Amino acid sequence: MLRAVGESSITAGLIILLFCAYLLWGTGGYTEDQQLLLQRQLTEERPAETPRLGRIQLGTAVAMLRIPRLGRDYRYAVIEGVSTEDLKKGPGHYPGSAQPGQIGNFVISGHRTTYAAPFKRIGELRRGDEIIADARDARYTYRVTKQEIVRPDEVEVIAPVPGKPDARPSRAVITLTTCHPEYSAAQRLIVHGVLKRLELRKD
């Protein structure tokens, strides 16, 4: 009897460990597959006509995000939408927030521990670091201005003028959001940046 209890407990423990391994590494495979599809959308397809109201369809790729500080190979296709399903595929752009390069706040959320953890290391970003958004029409280069840690309900950080929900935007800024501390949903880590450079695509 005691032996059976012991064996069951050890088995349960091993299964829980395996589940943790799945969360950290098993979920990334799905993201990588989906990223291939989204990145292909960005490089191959050009929308036949400008989407109505300049809005991008939910679930499609918005831009390629590159952060040189996090490595030369750091690139993720940003998907339009921040639903659970969207975020499994890559960093998500808040629908309704500014488009890349537009006046206002270009807000992107990404996972920090699961699903390939695209924003795992955004805490390492320092003032002045580049955040590059390669959109279909142009390359927009933002520079990090500040970092903050907020409660999950402090939505003013993603307002068109971060921190001032009622203000009218006059600058193009970018905001990255992820969970904080790592492995927790208690707070959010926020990185702000401001548009510094715009290079139109030649093709």
Partner 1 sequence: MYGWLWRRLPGNTGVKLLVATVLVAIAVAVLWFAVFPLLEPAVTLDEVTLFG
Q: Is 18 in the site for partner 1 (CB under 8 A)?
A: yes
111 is catalytic: yes
Assess contact for 177 and 124: CB atoms under 8 A: no
179 is catalytic: yes
Candidate list 157, 173, 174, 191; residue touching partner 1; CB under 8 A: 157
How many Å apart are CA 88 and CA 28, to the nearest integer?
A: 9
Q: Could you tell me the smallest distance in angstroms from the CB atom of residue 2 to partner 1? A: 12
Dihedral of alpha carbons 141, 147, 152, 156, sign = negative
Residues 133-152 interacting with partner 1 (rule: CB under 8 A): 150, 152
Structure-derived torsion over alpha carbons of residues 160, 68, 189, 158, reported in degrees to the nearest 10: 10
* Residue in this structure with the two tokens 């800024």, named with its chain if needed: 173
Catalytically annotated residue among 20, 93, 111, 180: 111
Structure tokens belonging to residue 54: 């300049």
Assess contact for 173 and 138: CB atoms under 8 A: no
Nearer to partner 1, 46 or 183 (CB): 183
Report phi then psi at 128, rounded to 5: 95, -15
Site string for partner 1, 31-70 (x = CB under 8 A): ----------------------------------------
Q: Is 4 in the site for partner 1 (CB under 8 A)?
A: yes
Structure tokens belonging to residue 113: 């521990």
Candidate list 27, 39, 60, 147; residue touching partner 1; CB under 8 A: 27
- The 10 Å Cβ neighbour count of residue 26 is 14
Candidate list 13, 17, 22, 32; residue touching partner 1; CB under 8 A: 22
Question: Contact residues for partner 1 (CB under 8 A)?
Answer: 3-4, 7-8, 15, 18-19, 22-23, 26-27, 82, 84, 87, 94, 109-115, 119, 150, 152-155, 157-158, 177-179, 183-185, 188
